[in-house]
């Protein structure tokens, strides 16, 4: 009641330090910089990279806790404990080690599948490892949780459970197909004794991962945001190539590309070009989804988060989150899949399976969620129910071990 409904004056709380965008804007105005350069620096670089770097404190807390779990010997135990559960679903405990490493980064996770001797199990592990959210997906999860779900802690926790569920469901379904059938390999490992880790080791591990994240934001993400800003702020108007105003962004080169592919994602509930482009740029590096949202939704009257909250509903936001969590990983991880599979056919199958699985799950979330919230699409609902029935059939279909040789063998 003090200010009669108005926001508090920040100066009342002590020395007021304006944000980095305000300080840089002041410098640019003093340097008399043109509109395009101010836009590039403020909306492109600071909007995009800043959106990613804003999550550094949360990332450091996560890395600190992960480093503690690794250093005290718990991670080795959880792999052993999960062997029994994984075995029921056709995966060996050896598959959990790559998944565990994959929580940091999918590339060494995929590489870690080399310890699995059985080729069919190794292929299946490579295909499912990147379902678990890697460090690069955390800013994206945090952005969706903060902007659309009011900072609910269940979103980020749920992302890991969704990843684990996707691995288990895929494990069960794939094991019942011919190329992946067979008993999982036994799992033997030496468990280290529990011990209290040294503070220095935990802090060093946290810093190394955190610094890697910051360096990534300052290199590949910065370059991507510059390119994205250029593509989203320039376009053809009345036959001439020109810089576009805030209200003309829909005519940009990026919008033309995004509109060309956005129809694919319309059944998932987010058929707008910005979300379609963000999903594609996420293939460069998953943090890029946040950077892209910062560039495309920032810069206007509303903040990036406020615009996101106005564009997505709870259901469509969750569908967007799940699709980007489960779909194909970044190009670097795809390269690792190619190296480990050592086959273009299997690489293509792995990426197609990941994208297809993500699409089906996101479609079911949007159609069933839409039906429950009064946004019923009868055809979409029927399709998603059929897909769920198909998945349930694969899940509960009895497993049959092949006892007949069906291949033709030449006997010399």
Partner 1 sequence: MLGWIASNIGTFIICAVLIAIVSAIIVCMIRKKKQGRSVVCNCGNCKTCAMSGSCHNKISNMS
Cα within 13 Å of Cα(296), Cβ side: 29
Part of the chain binding partner 1 (CB under 8 A), chosen from 171-179, 186-194, 324-332, 401-409: 324-332
Nearer to partner 1, 339 or 397 (CB): 339
Residue whose C-alpha is closest to residue 225's, from 10, 366, 40, 2: 40
- The stretch among 81-89, 132-140, 261-269, 387-395 that binds partner 1 (CB under 8 A) is 132-140
DSSP letter for each residue of 213-271? HHHHIIIIIHHHHHHHHHHHHEEEETTEEEE--GGGGGGBHHHHHHHHHHHHHGGGT--
Torsion of CA 286, 291, 293, 294, to 10 degrees: 160
Asked if 135 touches partner 1 (CB under 8 A), the answer is: yes
Count of residues touching partner 1 (by CB under 8 A): 38
Taking CB under 8 A as the criterion, the residue among 3, 4, 12, 32 binding partner 1 is 32
Q: Which of 51, 107, 116, 365 binds partner 1 (CB under 8 A)?
A: 107
Measured between alpha carbons, how far is 316 from 270 in angstroms, rounded to an integer?
Answer: 6
Q: Is 334 in the site for partner 1 (CB under 8 A)?
A: no
Using the contact rule CB under 8 A, the part of the chain among 76-84, 87-95, 109-117, 294-302 near partner 1 is 109-117
Per residue, what are the HEC states of 122-160? HHHHHHHHCCCCCHHHHHHHHHHHHHCCCCCHHHHHHHH
Q: Does 220 bind partner 1 (CB under 8 A)?
A: yes
Residue 97 or 124 with smaller CB distance to partner 1: 97
Dump the DSSP string for 313-348. Answer: -HHHHHHHHHHHHHS---HHHHHHHHHHH--HHHHH
**Binding segment for partner 1 among 81-89, 101-109, 386-394, 403-411 (CB under 8 A)?**
101-109
Nearest of 195, 201, 212, 259 to residue 60 by alpha carbon? 212
Task: Sketch the per residue contact string, 41 through 80, with partner 1: x for CB under 8 A, - otherwise.
Answer: x---------------------------------------
Restricted to residues 1-30, the positions that interact with partner 1 (CB under 8 A) are: 28, 30
CB of 154 to partner 1, least distance (A): 25
Which region among 150-158, 220-228, 267-275, 315-323 touches partner 1 (by CB under 8 A)? Answer: 220-228
105 near partner 1, judged by CB under 8 A: yes
C-alpha closest to that of 298 among 46, 13, 59, 105: 46
Give the range of 72-80, 159-167, 178-186, 219-227 binding partner 1 by CB under 8 A. Answer: 219-227
Assigned token pair, 51 = 């959106």
Residue 211 found at the interface with partner 1 (CB under 8 A): yes
Residue 2: other Cβ atoms inside 10 A: 7
Least distance in angstroms from the C-beta of 1 to partner 1:
46
Among 157, 177, 198, 219, the residue binding partner 1 under the rule CB under 8 A is 219
Among 20, 22, 23, 37, the residue binding partner 1 under the rule CB under 8 A is: 37
| Kind of pairing between the strands at 240-243 and 234-237 | antiparallel
User: For residues 168 and 357, is the Cβ–Cβ distance under 8 A?
Assistant: no
Task: List residues near partner 1 by CB under 8 A.
Answer: 28, 30-34, 37, 40-41, 101, 104-105, 107-108, 111-112, 114, 134-136, 205, 208-209, 211-213, 216, 218-220, 222-223, 226, 284-285, 330-332
């Amino acid at each position: 009641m003090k200010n009669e409904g108005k926001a508090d004056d920040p100066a009342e709380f002590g020395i007021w330090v304006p944000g980095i965008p305000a300080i840089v804007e002041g410098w640019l105005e003093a340097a008399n910089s043109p509109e395009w350069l101010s836009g590039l620096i403020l909306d492109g670089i600071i909007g995009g990279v800043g959106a990613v770097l804003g999550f550094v404190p949360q990332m450091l807390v996560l890395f600190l806790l992960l480093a503690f779990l690794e250093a005290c010997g718990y991670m080795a135990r959880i792999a052993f404990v999960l062997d029994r559960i994984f075995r029921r679903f056709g995966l060996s405990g050896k598959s959990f080690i790559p998944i565990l490493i994959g929580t940091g980064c999918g590339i060494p996770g995929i590489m870690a599948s080399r310890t699995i001797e059985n080729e069919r199990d190794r292929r299946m592990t490579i295909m499912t490892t990147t379902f678990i959210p890697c460090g690069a997906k955390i800013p994206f999860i945090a952005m969706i949780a903060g902007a659309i779900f009011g900072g609910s802690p269940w979103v980020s926790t749920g992302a890991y459970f969704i990843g684990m569920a996707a691995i288990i469901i895929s494990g069960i379904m794939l094991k019942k197909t011919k190329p992946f059938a067979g008993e999982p390999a036994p799992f033997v490992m030496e468990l280290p004794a529990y011990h209290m880790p040294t503070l220095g080791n935990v802090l060093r591990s946290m810093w190394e991962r955190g610094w890697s994240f910051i360096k990534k934001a300052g290199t590949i993400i910065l370059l991507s945001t510059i390119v994205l800003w250029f593509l989203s702020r320039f376009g053809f108007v009345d036959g001439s190539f020109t810089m576009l105003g805030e209200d003309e962004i829909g005519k940009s080169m990026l919008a033309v590309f995004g509109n060309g592919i956005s129809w694919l994602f319309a059944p998932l509930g987010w058929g707008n070009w910005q979300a379609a482009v963000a999903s594609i740029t996420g293939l460069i590096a998953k943090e890029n989804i946040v950077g892209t949202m910062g560039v495309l939704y920032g810069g206007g009257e509303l903040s990036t988060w406020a615009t996101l909250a106005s564009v997505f509903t709870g259901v469509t936001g969750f569908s967007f989150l799940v699709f980007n969590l489960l779909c194909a990983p970044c190009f670097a991880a795809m390269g690792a899949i190619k190296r480990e599979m050592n086959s273009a056919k299997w690489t293509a199958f792995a990426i197609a399976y990941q994208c297809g699985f993500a699409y089906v799950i996101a479609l079911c979330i949007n159609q069933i969620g839409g039906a429950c919230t009064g946004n019923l699409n009868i055809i979409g609902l029927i399709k998603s129910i059929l897909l769920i029935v198909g998945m349930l059939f694969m899940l509960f279909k009895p497993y049959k071990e092949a006892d007949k040789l069906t291949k033709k063998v030449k006997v010399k």
